[in-house]
Structure 1
């Protein structure tokens, strides 16, 4: 059986409100509609059902047994639709009580703890699942839906049609060296002077690996890579232990007391823009709106 087009969820709400208060004026007040609109909706339901639901007694509408029977099913129908809406939003990640967030390893000292603390104050009931990874892994997580949002390092001119970007701060590249170092104390370091030195490099997929390769392309030679590692903590420990030099962003300066960051010559300048990313089609999600607001506060505080 086809349901008549005039029978809508909104009219079912009108019916249930009227059945609850049994008064047109009170029902119109509760619904924020005129008495005429409420009456028209009830009459329209009768037309759609092709049977009477009410009888007139003076100025009053009195429900018939058919109205009580229909109201019972209307209540169940609206309840199921409400549960369906909430379930669909939960499956899609909208307004759920859990946020799946990704981050670069190098942001765990200051940035991510501050963001998570601020977000927990804005939304105390929100549970955050934090995943660490490379830029490549975090982008893939956003693409396949395993992550709701990710904080990554990007070129300043980054643009993506499907992703909303909220910048947090810009981070320059430095020469990372163990303490002490023969290059310490200089105003700037020319990478051409380090042709005979050994280097430690992050594996492909990390933003810092791309910056590393760009700088040495400018220098005009392939550095002698002593070891390539898959996380920045291992890299910092190896540099601190004197295994080789590396190129690292300024945000890791305090990760080790045995490592120093030295300024590079201007021609090797490379900037990463640390940025929150999430899907544009979810830009009205309350959890992501709260996270974006916290990122803007972080940016303004550090400006």
Structure 2
């Protein structure tokens, strides 16, 4: 078992020791450390107290290191170097100030929002490598809290006091139908009149699937869901193939396959989503996340 280290022995005092050994003078060591000679002398004396042995001897007004001081200085150099490397590796493992950033996103944001923000990030930090992880709202929230991603573009979770949130834009759910469907010619769709229709939906955990459930709860009936899928692009293709109708956010309009229409729901069933950039509050000073935050704020007008 490693012997306990006296609380008088600190990294700061070891740094003072090294400065003194390298300069050989209290005043010059104090100047290098931007402190006073008295503080340097006090730190060296407290190291002796913590070690319970003599490190220096006086010759007139000069303070001279003993062989013991040199042994401690050699060890201190290795300790401080190792700790500096450990801090760097720890910060990199946490994503803080690293040369890469891991971004999480909903599938539906990859056609416009994510490319716009990644381009903006690259313009500000060309050397920063970007990794994209796709998933549902629930998946991204868990990955964010586990440290698997650094930031997430997703819908607002119900309660997340541990997250910093930067809203990007507000979206609305629409009724999705093939262009050959009678619904495609309507100005609005009354969801309450669709009880006999077949539907397809996203699996649980997506912000859009939560809106789907909420809309039909307001309509007062359980929809006949004939198939579920794990990504929104497959969902669009199911609608295109006539498997069933669904509800889609208006942000996917540019990515819709030819032959699929988005029709507004009547006001009673019209649900809105807020899409935002999220990151852990414990990372609020991370330089990469601060840059991403600035990009998000400046790019909002392009995301609507």
Q: Do they fold alike, i.e. is TM over 0.5?
A: yes
Structure 2 Cα separation of the partners of residues 43 and 136 of structure 1: 56
- Stretches of structure 1 that go unaligned for 5 or more consecutive residues are none
Structure 1 Cα separation of the partners of residues 47 and 25 of structure 2: 17
Aligned in 2, Cα 1:247/1:2: closer, same or farther, shift over 3 Å? Answer: closer
1:105 positional shift? 0.5
- Stretches of structure 2 that go unaligned for 5 or more consecutive residues are none
Given that 1:179 and 1:260 are in contact with CA atoms closer than 8 Å, whether structure 2 keeps it comes out as yes
Residue in structure 2 matched with residue 233 of structure 1 by the alignment: 233
Residue in structure 1 matched with residue 201 of structure 2 by the alignment: 201
Structure 1 Cα separation of the partners of residues 140 and 5 of structure 2: 47
Aligned in 2, Cα 1:174/1:31: closer, same or farther, shift over 3 Å? Answer: same
Structure 2 Cα separation of the partners of residues 301 and 54 of structure 1: 67
Residue in structure 1 matched with residue 88 of structure 2 by the alignment: 86
Aligned in 2, Cα 1:301/1:26: closer, same or farther, shift over 3 Å? Answer: farther
Residue in structure 1 matched with residue 153 of structure 2 by the alignment: 151
Given that 1:236 and 1:255 are in contact with CA atoms closer than 8 Å, whether structure 2 keeps it comes out as no
Given that 2:99 and 2:127 are in contact with CA atoms closer than 8 Å, whether structure 1 keeps it comes out as yes
1:210 positional shift? 1.6
Moved more, 221-230 or 76-85: 221-230
Give the counterpart of 1:140 among 142, 155, 159: 142
1:93 positional shift? 3.8
1:87 positional shift? 2.9
String of CA shifts for 1:178-225, please: whole Å, max 9, x gaps: 235433454432123434433322222221112112212222233343
Structure 2 Cα separation of the partners of residues 76 and 209 of structure 1: 55
Structure 1 Cα separation of the partners of residues 145 and 6 of structure 2: 41
1:264 positional shift? 1.3
Moved more, 261-270 or 234-243: 234-243
Structure 2 Cα separation of the partners of residues 148 and 2 of structure 1: 37
String of CA shifts for 1:106-156, please: whole Å, max 9, x gaps: 00011111222233344444333322112222233234443333222236x
Residue in structure 2 matched with residue 74 of structure 1 by the alignment: 76
1:302 positional shift? 5.0
Structure 1 Cα separation of the partners of residues 78 and 239 of structure 2: 66
Structure 1 Cα separation of the partners of residues 32 and 109 of structure 2: 51
Structure 2 Cα separation of the partners of residues 5 and 238 of structure 1: 67
Residue in structure 2 matched with residue 223 of structure 1 by the alignment: 223
Residue in structure 1 matched with residue 289 of structure 2 by the alignment: 288
1:31 positional shift? 0.8
Give the counterpart of 1:63 among 57, 62, 65: 65
Residue in structure 2 matched with residue 39 of structure 1 by the alignment: 41
String of CA shifts for 1:56-105, please: whole Å, max 9, x gaps: 45544333333222211111111122222223333444333343332110
TM-score (norm 2): 0.86
Structure 1 Cα separation of the partners of residues 237 and 205 of structure 2: 20
Moved more, 138-147 or 30-39: 138-147
Given that 1:103 and 1:130 are in contact with CA atoms closer than 8 Å, whether structure 2 keeps it comes out as yes
Give the counterpart of 1:15 among 9, 14, 17: 17
SS at match of 1:253: helix
Aligned in 2, Cα 1:302/1:227: closer, same or farther, shift over 3 Å? Answer: closer
Residue in structure 1 matched with residue 26 of structure 2 by the alignment: 24
Given that 1:167 and 1:275 are in contact with CA atoms closer than 8 Å, whether structure 2 keeps it comes out as yes
Aligned in 2, Cα 1:197/1:3: closer, same or farther, shift over 3 Å? Answer: closer
Residue in structure 2 matched with residue 3 of structure 1 by the alignment: 5
1:297 positional shift? 2.9
CA RMSD of aligned residues (A): 2.6
Given that 2:20 and 2:29 are in contact with CA atoms closer than 8 Å, whether structure 1 keeps it comes out as yes
1:231 positional shift? 1.4
1:247 positional shift? 1.0
